[in-house]
Structure 1
Amino acid sequence: MRTLAFLFLLYCWFITPVFSQTRGAVPSITLDVKEKPLRYILTELEKQSGFFFSYETNLLDDLPLVSFSAQNESFSFCLKKLFINLPITFRATGQYIILKHKPRVYTISGFVRDSASYENLISATILEKNSGTGAITNSYGFYSFSLPPGEVTLRVSYVGYEVKEFRFKLERDTLVDLPLDRQGVLNEVVVTSFNPASTVLSSRTGCADVTVKQIRQTPALLGEADLIKTIQQLPGVSAGMEGMSGLYVRGGNVDENLFLLDGNPVYHMNHMLGFFSAFNPDAIKKVSFYKGSFPSEYGGRLSSIVDVRMNDGDRQEYHGNLSVGLLSARANLEGPIVKGRSSFHVSVRRTWLDLITWGILSTQNKDNDEKLVGGYHFFDVNTKVNHSFSDRSRMYLSFYMGQDSYHEGEQSRSREDLTDLRWRWGNLIGSAGWTYLFSNGLFGNFNAGYSRYRSRIQTEDVNVNLFIPNALRQIQRIEGNYSSQMEDVSFRTSFDYRPESKHSFKFGSDYRLHVFQPENNKLKTLYMDSLVMQHTYTVFARSELLGHEVSLFGEDELELTDRLKMTGGLRYTLFNVEGQTYHSFQPRFSARYLLNKNLSVKAAYTKMNQYIHLLSNGDVSQPTDIWVPVTKRIRPMFSHQFDAGIYYQPAKGYTVSLEAYYKYRRNLIEYKENSLAFPAFTEWEDRVALGKGYDYGIELFAEKTTGRTTGSASYTLFWSDRLFPDGSVNRGKRYPSQFDNRHKINLMFSHKFSDKIEFTANWTYAGGNNITLPDEFHLIDLPEPTNSPYYNGKLAVGVAHEKNNYRLPAFHKLDIGVSFYRYKKNGRMGIWNVGIYNVYNRMNVFNATTYIGHNYRDGEPVYEMWIEKNTLFPILPSVSYTYKF
């Protein structure tokens, strides 16, 4: 609360005019009048304050009677309260308050759209050339700002679209849609990180817009374009392990990232154990990534927000594409339902690894008595439907389903023995929303959503014992069923109010019902079809646990002067689970000061709370990882983050930024030393400890986004430490986190040789991860010495004196890709993409193991300890083909 009070006072300091009086302090004002002329109230204020009002005699003509009340209020507060709803502005000059007519202004608002498909364009820039006033569209393509009457020239721009100007005479509040035309496919501007305009001019730090073009051009493992692997290229973001879709942002854990798909959380965002993410690039319209200065509308995680918006669909024409790669195939189709009014979009993706496995197993099983079966595949389906009832009213429905399936088993041809394992996991997400433009300055969005993640494992083991003498047959059957599930039902309202071009306000509320089913594990043993034994394990006393989360938020963005812009916000959350209620006030504040039109400095503070935890039994994301809520013993995690930076745009298309941050986190959970997390998560509260996190660093970023040659370069230097004061982890001493890589460098390069050939390259360097390895060993006498020459009657036990005491070798690799564009008739096109992953075949280490053994010297055993390092991916070529129609 002290932090909140400080930010409120700081905010009021900037927005409150400063009045001075040479004869001493201005006395407080006490006044209560009903329905009086404004001239009467001004006279009373002069008597009590010692200030004098100066204005033209006709200024107060035709004004209505005014009621005013103040009780020991400051003079400046009274002035703001008095004139807030009157067409009068004031300015303090010495002992005089100058009153003038407020300049008449009208509001221009509407939507920026694709001229062909009628899709709304997110984060498009609108600039009035004469005044320099402008706006940026929100997540639904809406914009609003105010201008004085007269001739207006609006310059509208958006990545991948031609810049367009609109001229008209402004005589009243005006609602106008601004359509933009697409550029040629090869002429799109590649934005590899922060939007140049928003980087210098906005008040936020640590935010980035990721485009679909960027996702498709980033070289990736086996040529599979992936959103998460693109975000991993940004400064301050670590991948965790090579080739995986992990996201460790500014030292945070993987469960501290909130992934949203059309506003609904995605609780498991990986396919194939993390090699691919759940986001199909064909279904993505826009991605906003936040790692600092979080908007007040977001909450529930400590480290980052990834807000993914799905394609709306083309309202004018049918078109789509087919893509075939080494591991998967994708298809995409969109078009109008009612031309010009409604549209649909469908994207599907499926891997065919199971088909490859089927062919291999068929050959292997041909002459064997033991028949092996199995395979793995995943699929995604994204759909969205939009319909406009009018220019102000729009409805949308979106749906996502993704599932992984793994099957493994063995069956005897000659006997009835059988082993079978079937494992399925995936997400189901749906939402329905309605947006409405209430007035030229007020935009509203109403959304209801559903999100579910579920993992199920079914096992069957049949053993047949045949006794020949009496021909008896005994059958033993063991059946296992494991399930884990996380469900959300949510209702959300949000409003975007823009009373004038330099002032905007966002507010809203959010209710979310969490249904936790962390783990339900059943095991049955049957003998001759009769139940012999049955066990059921659950994490909590009952299999279903309800959590209620309520959020209220408000955020005010105000451009105080041409140089100073500030954003102040507050988020309040309440979380109730099993009779325990937690609540939190989370202030957000950021400010930008322009040193000149191309150079700015910023500072920001954010508090975040998190009420759910991900319990994992390994370093790699697995379907058995489960979400659990806070409890009476495990309190919510929270963080305080401070950001500051300098941002420079030396020329058009060039941007340089330097950011520094410090993040302090509390109530982090970590398994206590010598406490096992596998196989079950029962009684997990007893096996975890609560600790602190200290994360800080600097991030340098530079990019070029125009011309045939584009690219970016980034460098991150950071520290990420943990501390568990109760001594349950690392004996209470501070230690580095697993993914404290210390140094990270990313270089991106793209060059268009012609309209038909484009080359991209990406080089990455990162310090090695930290792991825990024994640094000495002890010989323990066995109770009953064995004659084995290896042990020689002793057992060698490794001991690690510090957690994460060993740093793996540095990671670095080069990926390249070449795209060949082949134009066909009627706007169709074929695209060949050839890539090479890990060009110079760097065998990067992802893990290491300590071994202890002995040799004989002069007849005596000599024990030695050594480390063996494990690598994963060598040089890998890839090829894919995309057909657009």
Structure 2
Amino acid sequence: MRKLLAGCLALCIPALLTAQTPADSISRTEAIDSVVVTARRPLMVYKQTGNIAVDIEQLKYAPLFAGEKDIFKFLQLLPGVSAGKDGMSGLLVRGGSNDQTLILYDDVPIYNQAHAYGILSIFSGETVQSAEVSKGFISPAYGSRLSALTQIRTREGDRLNHRQSLTVGTLSLAGTLDGPIKRDKGSYLISARYFFPEAVLAIADNDIRYGFNDITGKLTYDIHRNHTLSLGVYSGDDHMKNKEDHAENGFGWGNTTASLRLESRWNDNLRSSVVAYYTYLQNRQETEFKDDGFSNWGKTTFKTHEFGARMTFDQRLSRVWSLEYGATFSHQRFEPMHTKSIINGQHKDRGYSSELLVSGALFLNNRFQWGGWRADVGVRGAAYDNSEQTRYAVEPRAQLSYDFGRDNSVWLSGTINSQALVQFNRYYYSMPIDFWTPFRDGRLQHAWQVSLGGRAKLHENLTLSVEGYYKRMRNLPLIYDSDDFLLNNGGFIYGTGRAFGIEAMLQYQTERLSLTASYTYTDSRRRSDGVTYPFEYDVPHDFNAFVSYDVVKRPGRKHTFSLNVAWRSGLPYRLTNESYPDTDGNPIIGITAYPTMRMRNYFRADVSYNMERRKRNGVRNWQFSIINATWHKNPVSIYPYRGSYKATVLIPIMPSVSYTRTFGK
């Protein structure tokens, strides 16, 4: 009898567990404290085939530059993405320059993403929720750049509990507060950073001052169960001063952004998002000279303003067909160079004329999904007006992919992009005093690209992704005289560009180990005035590897060792053997319009050790890092020195330590 009863229970209990739950019992739930997932996640996650997202959680294990968690350092590990020069926070994608990558921070365009002369990005690791890069197929909802789209999202504050965190780094101090405005209805987030070498230098009575600070804030509130309103703000500023006998020189730059977003869910098949934003970039140079009653003062500013709005609808029409459609609008004002000065008591005010650009676009994307197939077929129609001319661009885009299951897929895409903006770097080396202007002579920059890729699971824990691309560009301005360019007197010529390459990424995951290795072969050329030359950021071979291993992993405690290795070909450089004497008779070697040589190959290895421990009321984290642990001298620039060449090295070996204490659940 007992055996019969046990057999009945063995058969009945699984059936009861899989049976449908009565409607009156659906609302009964049980709360648990937490769920811990011990499996390591991959560092890079493919979303919609060619688009890649970064696992933000692993950012805390990456080697820190001066104690700062920098999401851009992770994005630069992607195949096909380069930082440019050593330590820079640029994103140069598939033969494009930094200004050809559209960087959106909560859907707000960012015109300068750099702190500390490009060494750090403005995006604090404490506030970033997600980061995604689109290199091949770009949704028709986004445009105005030739190469790529990077989307950074700020996380919301916790809706249930108040939390606080404090981070003390080698050179910076950061604090974050977040929590509910009204429980389960809304939240707040505020985070601030201060780069404190400025204070140390002031105490030491040093003649050089440098520092930066920034603040990020976000408010989110459900004004209705189907409508959520959020307000985001960011403000940051870098400043440097150098005092000499009777003179004081200064640089500075900063971003200010604000956005208001309304997310709506109208029914199960229709969602919408409406965003209004403002973004502002200002760069400045200031000089003052005083001597025996004689005084000169001058300040030069470069400003960029943009107001804009975006409306997007996502509608499911059937089981296999969805639409994404909407419109964008922006109004941009550029003040490329304006100088105020006082010379011998006389006030002077001069500068180049400000310029306007008004842009608008309509977009539509058809998304079809059936079985393992997915097809995106869309178009973006844009209009650009610079107060003198109006130009139109039609940008068809399409992608076809097939998912075999178990992380095996292939995809093919074709994209056409246009760009109405021109960025000019006043210095060949990395300096923040750059300016933006609208298109000239009625010519928009254009690019088309095709790419073919696939992803295969080679083993239970091992995946390989490979993608090849070919890209053509035209109407690329090469500016050789900034004054003539800003006065509309020429000063530039148009050129073309082409790039092709193969990108591969290998990822291996176990419970304790995470490994990501990427390799890119690329060939990027430009042609201007009948001359074909390598693009100034052309890197034929680029290898990156990031590995992290949990040395200690038990409940409430984890120690993680991380290693980041980068090797790539040297960058092209513009120097000539011709020289001329300066006022002291020393030779000055000229800079040519086109690259004539390459720097030596680049290599850097960074290591870190992270110690995380859960406390009764939060988490404590120590991290020790060594940037450029092998002390490899990677040149950033080359300059003439006593009839020969000498290189500037920006990042020597650089140890750092960071302490983070988080309070709250």
What amino acid maps onto 1:765 in structure 2? W
Q: In the TM superposition, what are the counterparts of 1:220-619 in structure 2 within 5 Å?
A: 220-361=64-205, 372=207, 374-409=208-243, 418-464=246-292, 475-526=293-344, 529=345, 531=346, 535-540=348-353, 544-559=354-369, 561-594=370-403, 598-619=407-428
What amino acid maps onto 2:150 in structure 1? V
Distance 1:554 1:538, change over 3 A: same
User: Which moved further from structure 2: 490-499 or 208-217?
Assistant: 208-217
> Residue 578 of structure 1: SS of its match in structure 2?
coil
Shift of 1:852: 6.9
User: What are the Cα deviations for residues 539-564 of structure 1, in whole angstroms up to 9, with x where unaligned?
Assistant: 33xxx3322110111111102x4243
Distance 1:571 1:652, change over 3 A: farther
- Partners of 1:484 and 1:519 within 8 A in 2: yes
User: What are the Cα deviations for residues 510-540 of structure 1, in whole angstroms up to 9, with x where unaligned?
Assistant: 11111222211133312xx5x3xx5443233
Based on CA coordinates, which of the two structures has the bigger radius of gyration? 1
Distance in 2 between residues matched to 1:309 and 1:358, nearest whole Å? 36
Distance in 1 between residues matched to 2:593 and 2:279, nearest whole Å? 41
- Partners of 1:649 and 1:656 within 8 A in 2: yes
TM-score, normalised relative to structure 1: 0.68
What amino acid maps onto 1:610 in structure 2? Q
Distance 1:270 1:354, change over 3 A: same
User: What are the Cα deviations for residues 672-707 of structure 1, in whole angstroms up to 9, with x where unaligned?
Assistant: 4xx4x48x9643652111101111100011112442
What amino acid maps onto 2:523 in structure 1? W
1:743 aligned to 516, 537, 541, which one?
A: 541
TM-score, normalised relative to structure 2: 0.90
Distance 1:523 1:224, change over 3 A: same
Q: Which has the higher contact order (CA 8 A, sep 6+)?
A: 2
- Partners of 1:290 and 1:305 within 8 A in 2: yes
| Counterpart for residue 454 of structure 2 | 646
Q: Which runs of 5+ in 1 are unaligned?
A: 1-164, 363-371, 412-417, 465-474, 854-865
- Partners of 1:216 and 1:226 within 8 A in 2: no
User: Which moved further from structure 2: 653-662 or 591-600?
Assistant: 591-600
Shift of 1:873: 2.4
| Counterpart for residue 14 of structure 2 | none
User: What are the Cα deviations for residues 115-166 of structure 1, in whole angstroms up to 9, with x where unaligned?
Assistant: xxxxxxxxxxxxxxxxxxxxxxxxxxxxxxxxxxxxxxxxxxxxxxxxxx99
> Residue 205 of structure 2: SS of its match in structure 1?
helix
What amino acid maps onto 2:515 in structure 1? G
* Count of paired positions: 641
| Counterpart for residue 6 of structure 1 | none
| Counterpart for residue 606 of structure 2 | 815
- Partners of 1:274 and 1:620 within 8 A in 2: no
1:839 aligned to 606, 629, 632, which one?
A: 629
2:526 aligned to 715, 722, 732, which one?
A: 722
> Residue 623 of structure 1: SS of its match in structure 2?
coil
| Counterpart for residue 569 of structure 2 | 767
What amino acid maps onto 1:578 in structure 2? S
Shift of 1:585: 0.6
| Counterpart for residue 876 of structure 1 | 654
> Residue 762 of structure 1: SS of its match in structure 2?
strand
- Partners of 1:321 and 1:883 within 8 A in 2: yes
- Partners of 1:748 and 1:763 within 8 A in 2: yes
Distance 1:188 1:685, change over 3 A: farther
Shift of 1:608: 0.7
| Counterpart for residue 752 of structure 1 | 550
Distance 1:404 1:340, change over 3 A: same
> Residue 224 of structure 2: SS of its match in structure 1?
coil
Q: What is the percent sequence identity of the aligned residues?
A: 26
User: What are the Cα deviations for residues 7-36 of structure 1, in whole angstroms up to 9, with x where unaligned?
Assistant: xxxxxxxxxxxxxxxxxxxxxxxxxxxxxx
What amino acid maps onto 1:539 in structure 2? Y
Shift of 1:578: 1.4
User: What are the Cα deviations for residues 70-117 of structure 1, in whole angstroms up to 9, with x where unaligned?
Assistant: xxxxxxxxxxxxxxxxxxxxxxxxxxxxxxxxxxxxxxxxxxxxxxxx
> Residue 182 of structure 2: SS of its match in structure 1?
coil
Distance in 1 between residues matched to 2:221 and 2:589, nearest whole Å? 65
1:191 aligns with 2:42: yes
Distance in 2 between residues matched to 1:435 and 1:551, nearest whole Å? 21
Shift of 1:883: 0.3
User: What are the Cα deviations for residues 336-368 of structure 1, in whole angstroms up to 9, with x where unaligned?
Assistant: 111111110111111001111112226xxxxxx
Distance in 1 between residues matched to 2:18 and 2:473, nearest whole Å? 49
| Counterpart for residue 848 of structure 1 | 638
Shift of 1:765: 0.6
Distance in 2 between residues matched to 1:267 and 1:718, nearest whole Å? 26
Distance in 2 between residues matched to 1:799 and 1:426, nearest whole Å? 32
> Residue 355 of structure 1: SS of its match in structure 2?
helix
Distance 1:507 1:350, change over 3 A: same
Shift of 1:225: 1.5
What amino acid maps onto 2:298 in structure 1? G
Distance in 1 between residues matched to 2:33 and 2:109, nearest whole Å? 33
User: What are the Cα deviations for residues 645-680 of structure 1, in whole angstroms up to 9, with x where unaligned?
Assistant: 1211234553211100011011111124xx4x48x9
Shift of 1:167: 9.4
Instruction: Please give the root-mean-square deviation of Cα atoms over the aligned residues, in Å.
Output: 3.0
Shift of 1:400: 0.7
Distance 1:278 1:736, change over 3 A: same
Distance in 2 between residues matched to 1:458 and 1:851, nearest whole Å? 28
Higher strand share: 2
Distance in 1 between residues matched to 2:35 and 2:564, nearest whole Å? 25
> Residue 773 of structure 1: SS of its match in structure 2?
coil
User: What are the Cα deviations for residues 161-215 of structure 1, in whole angstroms up to 9, with x where unaligned?
Assistant: xxxx9996799xx99x9x998654x9474432233xx4xxx4x42x111132233
- Partners of 1:258 and 1:265 within 8 A in 2: yes
> Residue 99 of structure 2: SS of its match in structure 1?
helix
What amino acid maps onto 1:635 in structure 2? R
What amino acid maps onto 1:377 in structure 2? G
Distance 1:592 1:837, change over 3 A: same
What amino acid maps onto 1:400 in structure 2? Y
Distance 1:258 1:621, change over 3 A: farther
Q: Which runs of 5+ in 2 are unaligned?
A: 1-16
